[in-house]
Amino acid sequence: MVVFQRKIYQDLLEWKENSAGKSALLIEGARRVGKSTMAEEFAKREYEDYLLLDFSKASSDIKRNFEENIGDLTTFFRNLALLTRKDLPRGSLIIFDEVQLFPLARQAIKHLVKDGRYQYLETGSLISIKENVKDILIPSEEESLQMVPMDFEEFLWATGNTVTMPAIREAFEHRKPLGDAIHRKIMEQFRTYMAVGGMPQAVEAYVAGKSYQQIDRVKREILHLYEGDLRKYDKTTQGRAAAVFRSLPQQLSGRNAHFTYAKVEKGSRAAQYVDTMHWIDESGMANICCNVTDPQISLDLFADPANIKLYMGDTGLLVTQIFQSEKSTGDDIYKALIFNKLGINQGMIMENVVSQMLKANGHGLYFHEYEYQAEGNAKPSKYEIDFLLVKDKGLCPIEVKSSAYRNHKSFDYFGKKYPIKLRDQYIIYTKDLKTDDKLCYIPLYMTLCL
């Protein structure tokens, strides 16, 4: 597999320098986002030597060594060298790949870090499954880092483009439009990113010149893996996890994209899905966006887990999932999406990619719905802010538009209803940057600047 430049590499360098061997690092994330590839590339470039223990195929002898000898590390390391036929110099890196499959290795981190002979990096998918950690002591010597699909800038890097994103950032910082010709070109690149997505295998296929139908086949294989994971979890949830995941396109295609449990199973309620929704969110397959009942800067304190939206973790996978009932998704559909000629609700795809970029930038996902009675109206009406961010102790409301439509009553009434400190207010849409009074209209690709 091609090793792409990823932003998480800088985080790994900072961990190595700051921890100085006093903690292990666990890279969490959904399947196929590139955790193992990046861990091994980091080991090759930053350490004298390394050892990779992949617990998806580790021998019973290696596992028995953890079970029997972790209390005697001299014996443990001697056996490990014999079993792997590799004698590591002191200070090398040991990678525990797919560590969720063998929790005892994760528990051993406490003793291994204290010993100080080597440094430790762990990777894990679906690491929060309760069955995998309920019988072990999670080590305090373990830091964690979330890895997500490739963002738009990483996608551009993969294509050899290092000039576009700096130009986007400069335009955003100075609040100046890029101009029609440049904007159209970047939007075409961005729509291509939306269609392909940020899963490294799909990006690799795109960079290699594969057809969109072949790229779609790669994404279908990833979705198949996800469904396999869901089936394992569904042994305890009566099939709810898989049903929730399959319902995502239908959920997002609604007028306000609120997650409706009755669309999963008639008569079902939120209380029946609490554990399932938490697990899906933690797995990285999808991202929960919670309604906040009171828009204060401490958004998490007012999050309502019963009123949510659920976005796909990778928008490229959502595009494939939308057409999954077809035997294959041909190039014509992808080209229609890229050139803005696809006759479906593109609003859900654009809202999903905004959620994905906000998540990649480290933001929590929150929205706010409220009622407001405007002057002259007989009764209050419902309004909604698509996303809320906190910046410099103030709130930044965000609305996503799939066209050039510029109605912003939800923003106007939001400021009137709540006597709170507002920072920048953004409408994210498909046109070039534009400022209007207190509002800033930014193109979709500038979401990465927030």
- Average model confidence (pLDDT) for the chain? 91
| 385-440: pLDDT as tens digits | 999 999 888 899 999 987 656 677 888 898 888 877 788 899 999 999 999 878 89
DSSP annotation of 422 reads B
Q: Is-contact 348 232, C-beta < 8 A?
A: no
Residue 296's φ and ψ, nearest 5 degrees, are: -110, 165
Provide the pLDDT confidence category of residue 366 given band limits of 50, 70 and 90: very high
In the numeric block, the tokens 């880092």 are attached to 145
Contact 186, 180 (CB under 8 A): no
- Give me the count of residues in the chain: 450
Spatial contact of 113 and 141, defined as CB atoms under 8 Å apart: yes
How confident is the model over 183-230, as pLDDT tens digits? 999 999 999 999 999 999 999 999 999 999 999 999 999 999 998 888
Share above pLDDT 90 across residues of the chain, in percent, rounded to a whole number = 68
- The answer, yes or no, to whether residue 75 has pLDDT greater than 70, is yes
Which residue ranges form the domains of the chain, and what is each CATH number?
8-146 (3.40.50.300), 153-449 (no CATH)
What pLDDT shows up at residue 328?
A: 67
**Conformational region of residue 304, where left means phi above 0, alpha means psi within -120 to 50, and beta covers everything else:** beta
How does residue 16 score in pLDDT terms, banded at 50, 70 and 90?
A: very high
Mean pLDDT over 171-182 rounds to 97
SS3 assignment for 296-322: CCCHHHHEEEEEEEEEECCHHHHHHHH
Alpha-carbon span 381 to 373, nearest angstrom = 6
Quote the Cα angle for 403-404-408, to 5°: 100
Residues with Cβ within 8 Å of residue 442, at least 6 apart in sequence: 172, 426, 427, 428, 429, 433, 449
Residues 6+ apart with CB under 8 A from 201: 1, 32, 218, 222
Q: With 80 as the cut, is the pLDDT of residue 122 above it? A: yes
List beta partners, residue 372: 381
